[in-house]
Copies of this chain bind each other. A is one copy, B any other.
Amino acid sequence: MSHKTTAILLISCPDQKGLVAAIADFLYQHNANILHADQHQDAELGLFLMRVEWDLQGFDLDLVDFNTAFAPIATRFQMQWRLASSGSKPRLAIFVSRYDHCLADLLYRYQAGELNCNIPIIISNHTDTKWLADAYGIPFQHVSIDKNNKADAEATQLAILRHHHIDFIVLARYMQVLSSDFIRHYPSRIINIHHSFLPAFHGAKPYHRAFERGVKLIGATSHYVTETLDDGPIIEQDVARISHRDDLDDLIRRGADLEKIVLSRAVRWHIENRVLLYANKTVVFD
């Protein structure tokens, strides 16, 4: 809820001595007022990850010149890095089918100012959720999908996404499996919510299978979509206790609350550039 405009620098590189000193000194030389700095070292992989956020007020380097100014350090330490600013909102497309609880939750949070993004379009293979899009004033586009038109439908979806300059996609209980080709257009930029505690019950009908297996907790998992189903880097998970008093409908109802919370956290962290990826895992600097 800060009203400051900030810059966020995300770095991933081999761990080496002098790294933090070089970065901190660079920012200090340009009069950065650092608000948050988090770092993580993976000892086993010899990897260094960092997120640093500073107030742009007083920072004496124009962001368009950042690349040039930072390049020597980045080269010296073999960094993979990315600069973001809270001033430029990423553009989000939400995909949804019939279940509308995650969509309703995201739209409420968006309207309440919790999600610092723009949502230019909602895409659905059904029309059931159009009323929600209307209530929140978000354009809604119906792209119907059946066994025979899948490739065409994805082509249509991709065209819509391009038209709206979409930066990332949220699958808010979207019940279609995306093709590898589609996923390659948005690598590490499609967030899914799966209604189980992955890797338990990946694939179809997780609540049914959880009920049958007699687990004592149900879960939900938000992850980036990769070409292997339900196998992408996990951003967030949570669970809720159930008992024999809960039947399958109770699991589905209670799971819906988990899904909303877990997905909305993942989306917010992604928007706020808090998620770093490595080795099919995430580091979340929350």
Cα–Cα, bound, A28→B104 (Å): 45
Residue of B nearest to A261 (CB): B257
Mark each residue of chain A from 99 to 120: 1 if its CB lies under 8 Å from any CB of chain B, else 0: 0110011001000101000000
CB of A284 within 8 A of CB of B244, answer yes
The smallest beta-carbon distance between A181 and chain B, in angstroms, is 26
Is A71 located at the chain interface by the 8 A CB criterion?
no
Most interface-central of A36, A114, A199 (chain B CB within 10 A): A199
Residues of B contacting A44 with CB < 8 Å? 247
**Size range of the interface on A?**
35 or more
Cβ contact of A216, chosen from B236, B249, B261, cutoff 8 A: B236
Residues of B contacting A112 with CB < 8 Å? 100-101
Knowing A197-B197, A217-B237 are in contact, say whether A20-B41 is a contact too (CB < 8 A). Answer: no
Is A201 located at the chain interface by the 8 A CB criterion?
yes
Residues of B contacting A281 with CB < 8 Å? 213-214, 244
Is A280 located at the chain interface by the 8 A CB criterion?
yes
Residue of B nearest to A111 (CB): B104
Cα–Cα, bound, A154→B237 (Å): 41
Is A152 located at the chain interface by the 8 A CB criterion?
no
CB of B17 within 8 A of CB of A25, answer no
CB of A282 within 8 A of CB of B237, answer no
Is A204 located at the chain interface by the 8 A CB criterion?
no
CB of A215 within 8 A of CB of B244, answer no
CB of B214 within 8 A of CB of A280, answer yes
CB of A215 within 8 A of CB of B243, answer no
Residues of B contacting A105 with CB < 8 Å? 108
| Besides A21-B24, A214-B233, 20 new A-B residue pairs in contact (Cβ under 8 A), listed by A number | A1-B249, A17-B32, A17-B33, A17-B34, A25-B25, A38-B38, A43-B247, A135-B135, A197-B197, A197-B200, A197-B217, A197-B219, A199-B201, A199-B213, A199-B215, A213-B281, A214-B282, A216-B234, A243-B284, A245-B286
Q: Which 6 A-B pairs have the closest CB atoms?
A: A214-B281, A21-B24, A200-B200, A135-B135, A20-B24, A1-B249
